[in-house]
Each structure stands twice: as C-alpha cells, then as structure tokens.
Chains A and B, each alone.
Chain A
Amino acid sequence: MLKLSRVYKVFNAGTPNEKIALTDINLHLKPGDFVTVIGSNGAGKSTMLNLAAGTMRPDAGELRIEDKLVNSLPEHKRSRWIARVFQDPMAGTAPHMTIEENLAMAYKRGQMRGLRFGVTRAKRDMFREQLSRLGIGLEDRLRAQVGLLSGGERQALSLLMATFTKPKILLLDEHTAALDPSRAELITRLTDQLVREQQLTTMMVTHNMEQAIRLGNRLIMMDKGKIILDIGPEQKATLTVERLLHEFEQISGTKLSDDRVVLG
C-alpha cells in the first residue's frame, strides 16, 4: 500500500546546521496494517510522516502508493489516498465554518470541487449518522461553528473527517499529544474503533509507549534517522513497556532518557 525504499532526507545540507533526518529508510505497509512509530525527539518520525504526506520531498529514494511512484506529487494531489490528523487540534478543521461544512469539505477529499452545494439534505443525514458514532453529541450541533468546540471535540471531528471517506492511508501525527489525559484516552479509543471498522492502513506517530503498544499490529522504533526496531503482530501481542525499553538499550547502547517519551 505505502512503500518507502532507500529514502534519505537531510535538512540544511552543506551548512553548519546540517541535520540528517532520515537515512536509508525502507518501510512497507501492507493493506490493513496499523503501524505505530515511536522514538525520541529528532529521530525522524515526523519527517517520515511528512514525506509520506507530501509536505516534504525526499532527497533520494522512492515513495510508492499502491505501486505508483509519488515522489513529486504535491500534498493536495496525494490526498486522494492519504488522510491526515495533525497534532494541533486547531489544524485539522476550519474554525469559522460549521461542523457540517467541515464534513462536506472532507467528503470531497481528493475530488474535483465544482458548483454543487456542499451540504445537501442527504449528506446532512449521513453526517449526523457519522457524528453519532463519536458518541460526544456533535450530531446535534451540525450548524455550530467549529471554533466553538473544545480541543478534544475538534480532534474527534478531525479524526472523523480523516476516516469517513475510507482513505487508502491514514497518517496520525501525535494526534493525542496536545490533549488532556481523559480527552487523549477518548481519541485513542475512537482511533482504534474507526481504524478497525474501516480496516484502514494506518501510520501513527506517538510519544506514548503505552499507546504505541496498545494500538495497531506493528510497532516501529526510530533513532537518529533510522528504523532500529520493527516488531510484527505476533511479538507485539506480548510486548510490554519494560521489554521495549530494554530492547532500545540493547540496540542503541544508551538509555532512553528523553522525557518526552512517556511511559503510559
């Protein structure tokens, strides 16, 4: 579904601030895979996600979606296959537009936008039904401006907007990191539910090890621009935070001390 082959990315090449973000990344997501990506700051997790989404281009290597080479396709043209949820709850929705208008825009993901009305009666019924799956009462507030919603509500809406059109690939960029624990738990639960129901191919970057272990069927750990650990479904079922920390120390020879990697 999504394939990265020998991908390299360097920032500020040739300057004193040169930073190698990704080195020889090879990653293949099969249809229905749900990969969680962990690693300390600067490990290259977000860069990898941005390359997949098309907001950055790789220096070398190939990016393929469904076997189609997409290296030079800009973000808005990849959105046909790829949906994203950002870390910032404000980033995924338009604040001065209504809930139904936001959903109508997501409904048209990757399609031509013409002169038909965005919100029709039939669509409104469908939106209401979809929103009710979130279980937070947004279905009764279709005409409320999104800017009036709380961060958790906005993130839940973003998640729905990203998933309800069944994209080929779902990219989640620390999408629970900016929420308080109970809201983060809600979004985590919804993520699991929505991805499972639609069997979406998903890549989720997170700083939360417990979350990374709980969700998905595959776990990747990154360090200094490389994938240092790739755990498949069988091993992942019995994985614990302690084992993960132990593995990291074994491979990298250092203790995972970055306090942004939270345990649970």
Chain B
Amino acid sequence: MIPDFIIRAIELGLLYSLMALGVYITFRILNFPDLTVDGSYTTGAAIAALMIINGFAPWLATLAAFGGGMAAGAVTGLLHTKGKINGLLSGILMMVALYSINMRIMGTPNVSLLRETTLFTNISPMIFMIIVVILVKILLDAFLKTDLGLALRATGDNPRMISSLGANTDTAKIIGVSLSNGLVACSGAFVAQQSGFADINGGVGMIVIGLASVIIGEAIFGRMTVFRATLAAILGSVIYRIVVSLALRVEFLEASDVKLITAVIVVIALVFPSIGRSWSEKKTARKRSAELSREVPERA
C-alpha cells in the first residue's frame, strides 16, 4: 500500500506541475530567468478565488486566471524586450508590482473558498489533475514543434540565427514569457481551489519551487527531446513534493523549514550531476591509463 502522505504529495505535485512547465518554458527554453512567477502565481489564485465567490463557474474562473497570468507575463516580456530592462530586473519589477495588483483583486489578504463550488467539488483533484496535466503536456509538446514553437526554442538557443531567418525574437520572448506565466497562474488557481483559500503571500518562493522541479526532473529524466523535458518538469514537480513530505516527517524539521529544504534540494540537484560527470570521467581515465600501461609496459 502507498502511504496516504505520498498520495497527497503526488496530488500536490500534479497541482503544481503546470507551474513547473511554465518555469521550464522561461528558464530552459527561453534561457530567461523569470521571477514574475512569484507574483503571477498569486494573481492566478486571486482571480480564480474572486470570480468563484462572485458566482462564476469554476472553469471560467480558472480560464480567467490563465489569461491574467498571460497578461502579467506579457508585461514582463515587454519590459525586457521593448524597454530593454535586464531580464532578472524586469521579472522582479513585475513581481513587486503584482503584489499591489493582487491585493486590489482580492481586496483582503485572504479569500476563503471553503463553502464555494470549485473544480474539485465533484471530482477528486488527483483524477482531474492527471487528465489536465496530460492534456497540457500534449498541447505544449505539439506547440513547441510548430513553426512558432521552433522559433521560440531557437530564440533561447541561438537568437542571432533565428533573427537572421526572419523571426522577431522580441515577439517570441513575449509570447514565451506570457504563456509561461499563464500556466503558473493556472497552478495558482488550481491550488487555491484545492486548498480552499487564496492568500496574498501564496506565491512567495514559487520560482525556487519551479526551478527545483525542473532541475530535479532533468537530473533524473534528462532533457534531450521536448517530450522528455516536459515530462521531466511534471515528474520533477511530483518528486519534489514527495521529497519535501518525506523530509517533513523527520521530527526535528518544521513546516517553516520547507524553503530551506527546497533550496538544499536545488543545490543538490545542480551540483550532483556535474560531480557525477567529473567522477565518471576520472574513472574512465584511470581505467584507460591502466589498460595502456599493460599494453606498453616498457614505455613507463
């Protein structure tokens, strides 16, 4: 039997996996470390919560959250490309600005959805999210193979080349950052509906969690093809939640230690592959030189 807390972790991982996909788009495809995520996640939660308590259908609220996230991402993209503001800084600016905007949307720091009808009122989050995540993955994989998607990937991979082939890299970046934050906001909307509230500080640290998911996924599943890379982001998100829930079962650790655990996980996932690589290189070199000294002993 799978313990209950693991099931809950998988469920959470799936809820947050759309955010991981969003971070994958900016961080890996566009090569653009976008910090808007911390703000746009909350924007998604805020829009969905506000619309639901005002009687809109939950699916419509979630769709609106996606749109809100896309708008926020588009502004970050515009600041960076047209305003020529450094990528990190434009993300930070937008993240700060979104705090006030999110407050305006919600009106109070916390909106409760406990008695409202949400997406998860009639269906378990697990089943629902499995369907949604598979759908989103298929759509995203397909998009990244279209002409526009190829231009988007090339914008991160070799901007000079794709520009000489006639694609506008500014537009590609804006589209990418926008799509990314749309997915992030979707995650925010899902989590708000699952947990029963939206909080103004709900998005704090989201970018690191997104990075952790992407990096863990890549370390385990690789990223040679689009199919693998998106799968890695999704499963990375699930594994991250499992690791955190396992860590929190250690008596000594408290809930507030989650951020520290996250940071440590990211560091391990970043450092470990390169240590492993140099280790295996050394091993091959040792083996090879041993072979050589056997073959030509007199030269030594």
Q: Nearest 4 pairs between A and B by C-beta?
A: A79-B166, A113-B147, A110-B166, A94-B157
Q: Which of A93-123 contact B (CB under 8 A)?
A: 93-97, 101, 104-106, 108-111, 113-119
A91 touches B158 (CB 8 A): yes
Asked if A77 is an interface residue, CB under 8 A from chain B, the answer is: yes
User: Assuming the A-B contacts A97-B153, A106-B165, A115-B143, are A91 and B160 also in contact, with contact meaning beta carbons closer than 8 angstroms in the complex?
Assistant: yes
Contact residue among B146, B167, B169, B224 (Cβ-Cβ distance under 8 Å from A117): B146
Neighbouring A residues of B288 by C-beta, 8 Å:
none
Neighbouring A residues of B147 by C-beta, 8 Å:
104-105, 108, 113-118
Pull 13 A–B residue pairs with CB atoms less than 8 Å apart, ordered by A. A76-B164, A76-B168, A91-B158, A92-B161, A93-B161, A97-B157, A105-B167, A108-B165, A110-B166, A114-B146, A116-B146, A116-B147, A119-B145
- Return the chain A residue nearest B147 by Cβ: A113
Contact residue among B158, B163, B224 (Cβ-Cβ distance under 8 Å from A145): B224
Asked if B48 is an interface residue, CB under 8 A from chain A, the answer is: no
Neighbouring B residues of A86 by C-beta, 8 Å:
160
Asked if B140 is an interface residue, CB under 8 A from chain A, the answer is: no
A77 touches B158 (CB 8 A): no
Asked if B151 is an interface residue, CB under 8 A from chain A, the answer is: yes
B163 touches A115 (CB 8 A): no
Asked if B222 is an interface residue, CB under 8 A from chain A, the answer is: no
The distance from the CB of A156 to the nearest CB of chain B, in whole angstroms, is 15
A94 touches B163 (CB 8 A): no
Neighbouring A residues of B148 by C-beta, 8 Å:
113-115
Asked if A84 is an interface residue, CB under 8 A from chain B, the answer is: yes
Could you tell me the distance between the alpha carbons of A111 and B142 in the complex, rounded to whole angstroms?
A: 20
Q: Which of A172-190 contact B (CB under 8 A)?
A: none
Neighbouring B residues of A53 by C-beta, 8 Å:
164
**Extra inter-chain contacts (11) besides given A94-B154, A113-B148, A117-B146, CB under 8 Å:** A75-B163, A75-B164, A93-B158, A101-B150, A106-B165, A108-B147, A110-B165, A110-B166, A115-B146, A115-B147, A115-B148
B162 touches A105 (CB 8 A): yes
Asked if A236 is an interface residue, CB under 8 A from chain B, the answer is: no
Asked if B149 is an interface residue, CB under 8 A from chain A, the answer is: yes
Neighbouring A residues of B151 by C-beta, 8 Å:
105, 108, 113
The distance from the CB of B27 to the nearest CB of chain A, in whole angstroms, is 14
Neighbouring B residues of A6 by C-beta, 8 Å:
none
Asked if A80 is an interface residue, CB under 8 A from chain B, the answer is: yes
B112-146 CB mask vs A (1 if < 8 Å, else 0) is: 00000000000000000000000000000011011
Could you tell me the distance between the alpha carbons of A182 and B151 in the complex, rounded to whole angstroms?
A: 33
Neighbouring B residues of A109 by C-beta, 8 Å:
165-166
Could you tell me the distance between the alpha carbons of A97 and B167 in the complex, rounded to whole angstroms?
A: 16
